[in-house]
Chains A and B, each alone.
Chain A
């Protein structure tokens, strides 16, 4: 499942964006903005970083990817499908009755879903539990947890941020999709998070700040996290909400609204083949 060249990873990212738009087109509900902002993060993880077996999703030694910002299901499902966890055609059942692809992730539905989510702030605590269990069992799997920046307003997120360094979990990486927009409006005008890097460092994390759409920077950050000892790594990935679709970029309106079929046509044209 590994792709070596940045060109090919870029191509996979473009395909993922097309799938995200395709599964949301005319659906009436869903979350394009925060799915598009995290595309490169998941492409880097699933095609280069994670040790995983799509044909054996419960492999005990797999690295875990936990989607804490559970509304980014279009992103997660698209990448899982492209990796072979389930057929790409199944993406078109998203959010429909009798589908395995629930609006927010639920364990026990489609293969490859690590944890239920949808109520924000819960994924990092879960990830810590997975890390503690891995250490108890002498396993070397690593746990990667993707959080939204709006989600960092949840108190539980800070309970978890406080506890991971306390347990010296160097098998944990938190990635914050810092797209600057939450459900209603801009994060900075709702409840300011900055200086986020400094807060995370003060809590005891090794912090790496990257351009979250630059695959090379992301891969370097994940490599760096692997050699950090005795503390977890937080990757603050500066991203653009709605990345790749001009009318969605940096527009709070597109947090939780699906494009019409016409809007989707335009979006697909912009993303390109």
Chain B
């Protein structure tokens, strides 16, 4: 499957409409919001179900706690704000009240990564996947497009237990159509190849596909995996990719030392050592700027992925293994 030319959409746009649809289908959905519901699109739920929508104001810790109380009483509690605040402003509340209880709380964090753009580094979420992945029993998902985002949200609503779903602000290319079926905990292979594997999440998935296309023109065939579920990590798909392609490059809109790069390295290092490369944020904060310029400036592009793939190929031994 390759990128299809349907009108781009932001993954955050999936939230409001999906919640309304699921509530219409009879799911006991309630929404708790911390004054960013217009941006996260959660507020659309209020138009249809005002009595099931609770705004706590600018109070993220209270948002988590109230969500837990609602969940414990049988509701499927969705809460949402920006990915810098959720988990940043309420990590301990998530740890004690959500992760350690296993309550049915679905945390939807929009504005992930640096593609938030002009608001600058206080608004750039490049640590959220590390924080959420450090928790036991929390499903962590980064959808690659709005189709996958809607399906991930539906999966969260229908699957018991805590979820964290990171969506994004800018409109991104469509990757999937309605035939796609998101599977929790499974990496989705978008392209096959035997020379190397690119494992990407979120906004970097379409860029990974672009990189694979560029590399193919040079005779380098890459497998591309959309690692939409970061937790639980699809270790099997990662090991198979290492074994069959002999080199892996990760691509994420997150700090690499504590993100997908680190998680993949842990699996590969212990199960099937191969040369690794990483595209992402390298131990620095970004700055204000247009989102596409930021991604360019901080090396989150197809071109940089291409360079990183060539780098691991140079270190790859004949036969694939180290």
Contact = CB atoms under 8 A, between A and B. Distances in A.
B107 interface: no
Contacts of A116: 96-97, 100-101
B62 A136 contact: no
Interface string A124-163: 1111111111101100000000000000000110011011
* A contacts with B: majority SS: helix
Interface in A91-136: 106-108, 114-119, 121-134, 136
Given A114-B72, A117-B96, A126-B65, 15 more contacts: A108-B102, A116-B97, A122-B61, A122-B97, A125-B93, A126-B97, A128-B69, A129-B77, A132-B66, A133-B75, A137-B73, A156-B62, A159-B56, A160-B65, A163-B56
9 contacts: A122-B93, A126-B68, A129-B67, A129-B77, A132-B69, A133-B69, A133-B74, A162-B57, A163-B59
A136 B97 CA distance: 22
B30 A136 contact: yes
Contact of B54 (A107, A114, A115, A132): A132
Contacts of A137: 73-74
A132 B62 contact: no
A167 interface: yes
A123 B71 CA distance: 14
* B contacts with A: majority SS: helix
Interface of A: 60, 106-108, 114-119, 121-134, 136-137, 155-156, 159-160, 162-163, 167
Contact of B65 (A107, A129, A133, A167): A129
B317 interface: no
Contacts of A114: 72
Contacts of B65: 122-126, 128-129, 156, 160
Contacts of B64: 125
Given A136-B52, A156-B93, A129 B69 contact: yes
B245 to A, nearest CB: 43
B285 to A, nearest CB: 26
A126 B57 contact: no
A106 B75 CA distance: 20
Contacts, number: 104
B54 A167 contact: yes
A128 B66 contact: yes
Contacts of B54: 132, 167
A117 B72 CA distance: 14
Nearest to B105: A129
Contacts of A134: 73
Given A116-B101, A163-B66, A130 B59 contact: no
A122 B100 CA distance: 13
Interface residues of B, number: 31
B96 A122 contact: yes
A115 B101 contact: yes
A123 B97 CA distance: 9
B51 interface: yes
B62 A159 contact: yes
A203 to B, nearest CB: 13
Contacts of B69: 125-133
A125 B62 contact: yes
Q: Which one of B30, B61, B69 has the greatest number of beta carbons of chain A within 10 Å?
A: B69
Q: Which one of B65, B70, B75, B96 has the greatest number of beta carbons of chain A within 10 Å?
A: B65
Given A128-B66, A129-B65, A118 B59 contact: no
Contacts of A156: 59, 61-62, 65, 93
Nearest to A155: B61
B70 A132 contact: yes
A160 B62 contact: yes
A159 B73 CA distance: 21
B224 to A, nearest CB: 41
Given A106-B100, A117-B96, A126-B97, A163 B57 contact: yes
B283 interface: no
